[in-house]
Amino acid sequence: MDLHGGSNQKWLVEDQGNDTSHLVNVATGKVLDTADCSTADGADLRQWSWLNNNCQQWHRTPRPDPHQPQPRGTIRTVRRLIGRALTAVLAVLALILTATPAHTAVPASPAVTFTNPIAERRADPQIYKHTDGYCYFTATVPEYDRVVLRRATTLQGLATAPETTIWTKHASGVMGSHIWAPEIHYIDGKWYVYFAAGSTGDVWAIRMYVLETDAANPLTGTWTEKGQITTTWESFSLDATTFVVNGVRYLAWAQHNPSEDNNTSLFIARMANPWTISGTPVEISQPTLSWETIGYKVNEGPAVVQHGGKVFLTYSASATDANYCLGMLAASASSDLLDAASWSKSQTPVFKSDASTSQYGPGHNSFTVSEDGKSDILVYPTAVTRTSPATR
């Protein structure tokens, strides 16, 4: 393309410290990125949303002419825009994960302002937008004793929608305590809820379980227990989520690997059916970075969104206080997702506490889409103080 001086050909250089910078496109606000983090000669360059990884960091040489104006930094502007978008429980994720211009992007939804919080005294929130025109919401309740659902035709409407208990913990034995992190999914004509639970005999014997109903409306259906999701080890496991890439359904979850000195790592496997994995699970991340190991050594709460031929998997790290934050893995959708080498990890959190908005510990998020289906939405919990657990 010829040089024409338009804003889409102008870049601002922002110093990141450690002798590195990133380049921000004036027209789009996106940064210069090396495709797939390639180190090969002739590697493709592209603009991409800011992920704060090595693919987007550059060394630069100062201008030799001191009379030429130095580039004005824009990271404060970019971060301020992202911060404003993400201070709500729901926010347009397209600001941080939009596909590259190599693919024709679907126009984003008109700007929408959400009145937050969407739900009080709820943690681990998930919203599923179904083809019936309803948005379905579930989350952990503070009593840890049941699975709840609500639905509305708009995301904002979930704030006032009535809530229904669809399942209650067992009086004794397994699934008798610590009912955590439910997720609802519609698969092959049936509804499924994934959740974690402990036992009355050992409340910390946390395992993953599945419920099923064939009712059109899951709030009124009869739910059947499909049992525990069996994995490699009989160990602490939770936060199951399921997604499809190129026609293949996967399960991702967090589990303690007995051979590792940590609390939980992240795993992925193909699914034989909605309550059974197939093959050998693959570990794709463990908590090794400093921000992943504050209080506890944790990678948990995987959540998936796909854009521009890539699969992004966010996860939560560290203890569930103000240090609880989101990290992110990324892989090409055409790669072998069961090969740990296909996944690259952001070296810094992609979302964390913000004292200026009194939002702390925004861990265990989920993703949904806007009512018109054009924009991705980030759903996350926060606490109102540095030491309290997430309650909204």
Q: Which CATH number is 353's domain given?
A: 2.115.10.20
Q: In terms of domains, do 188 and 285 share one? A: yes
At 15, which CATH number? 2.80.10.50
Q: How confident is the model at residue 291 (pLDDT cuts 50, 70, 90)?
A: very high
- The answer to whether residues 68 and 106 belong to one domain is no
Position 356 pLDDT exceeds 70: yes
* pLDDT attached to residue 8: 59
Strands 207-213 and 224-228: antiparallel
Q: What is the pLDDT of residue 308?
A: 92
Model confidence pLDDT, tens digit, residues 46-80: 776 655 566 667 754 443 333 333 333 322 222 22
Domain membership of residue 215 (yes or no) is yes
Q: Are residues 149 and 252 in the same domain?
A: yes
Q: Domain for residue 125, yes or no?
A: yes
Output the CA–CA distances (angstroms, integers) from residue 274 to 161, 209, 277, 284, 334, in the order listed: 28, 11, 8, 21, 23
Q: Is-contact 311 337, C-beta < 8 A?
A: yes
Largest CA distance in the chain: 77
Q: In which domain, by residue range, is 53 found?
A: 7-73
Confidence of residue 372 (pLDDT cuts 50, 70, 90): confident
Give 87 or 207, the one with higher predicted confidence.
207
Residue 388 lies in a domain: no
Instruction: Name which residue leads in pLDDT, 40 or 355.
Output: 355
Which residues fall within 8 angstroms of residue 276, CB to CB, at 6 or more apart? Answer: 229, 230
Q: What is the mean pLDDT of the chain?
A: 83
- Could you say which DSSP state residue 159 is in? G
Place of tokens 């960091």: 57
Q: Which two tokens stand for residue 214?
A: 């064939």
256 token code pair: 């303690």
Query: Residue 113 has what pLDDT?
Result: 74
Q: How many domains does the chain have?
A: 2
Other Cβ atoms less than 10 A from the Cβ of 344: the count is: 17
The set of catalytic residues is 124, 300
